[in-house]
């Protein structure tokens, strides 16, 4: 009887540890997504512009960008540019866009872009524009986009396209 009583606290302690590990299981593996090179095209007077960035997924499971929003605009939609018979078409990625495991999802002129509509103010170069990206696994992420007049990277071969 005495022995049994002494063993109980140790057993309880072990169970508590197991429970703690089990509850960590779902989230402990996920490292945060990394967003880089976030920019939006400056506009003056027009209510519409586009935003670009890259997001890196360090995890071994894919994630998915579900949607984006901004308090400074009426709507933000995920758009893809598709060339059909030599003509660029914009298509909304309604199911979101996959961020591959150990890979990246790139938004760049001529490809994926955040279509920003109903801007409440103009966007001047040097300002920043805040948007919230919503990921399936990574949750909500607030990103500060630099306002610039043109792509900060190498000139795009599709620079004639403004979206």
Which residues of this protein are in contact with Cu ion, per CB under 5 A?
79, 90, 115, 163
Shortest gap between Cβ of 48 and Cu ion (angstroms)?
9
Whose Cβ is closer to Cu ion: residue 43's or residue 138's?
43
Q: How far apart are CA 152 and CA 92, in angstroms?
A: 25
- Minimal distance in Å, beta carbon 77 to Cu ion? 7
Q: How does DSSP classify residue 127?
A: -
Residue whose structure tokens are 């984006």:
68
Residue 89 Cβ, how far from Cu ion at the closest point, in Å? 10
Query: Residue with the closest Cβ to Cu ion?
Result: 79
Tokens representing 18?
């197991």
CB of 21 to Cu ion, least distance (A): 45
Buried b (16+ CB within 10 A) or exposed e, 122-156: ebeeeeebebebebeebeebebebebbeebeeeee
Closest to Cu ion by CB, 52 vs 135, is 52
Residue closer to Cu ion, measured from CB, 57 or 145: 145
């Amino acid at each position: 009887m005495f022995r049994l009583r002494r063993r109980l606290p140790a057993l309880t302690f072990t169970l508590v540890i197991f429970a703690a590990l089990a509850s960590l299981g779902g989230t402990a593996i996920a490292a945060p997504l990394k967003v880089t090179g976030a920019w939006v095209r400056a506009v003056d007077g027009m209510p519409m512009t586009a935003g670009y960035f890259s997001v890196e997924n360090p995890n071994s499971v894919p994630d998915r960008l579900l949607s984006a929003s901004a308090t400074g605009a009426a709507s933000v939609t995920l758009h893809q540019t598709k060339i059909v018979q030599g003509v660029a078409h914009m298509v909304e990625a309604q199911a979101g866009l996959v961020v591959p495991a150990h890979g990246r999802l790139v938004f760049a002129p001529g490809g994926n872009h955040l279509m920003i509509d109903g801007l409440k103010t103009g966007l001047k170069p040097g300002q920043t524009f805040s948007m919230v990206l919503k990921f399936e696994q990574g949750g909500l992420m607030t990103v500060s986009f630099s306002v610039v007049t043109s792509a900060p990277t190498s000139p795009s071969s599709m620079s004639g396209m403004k979206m």
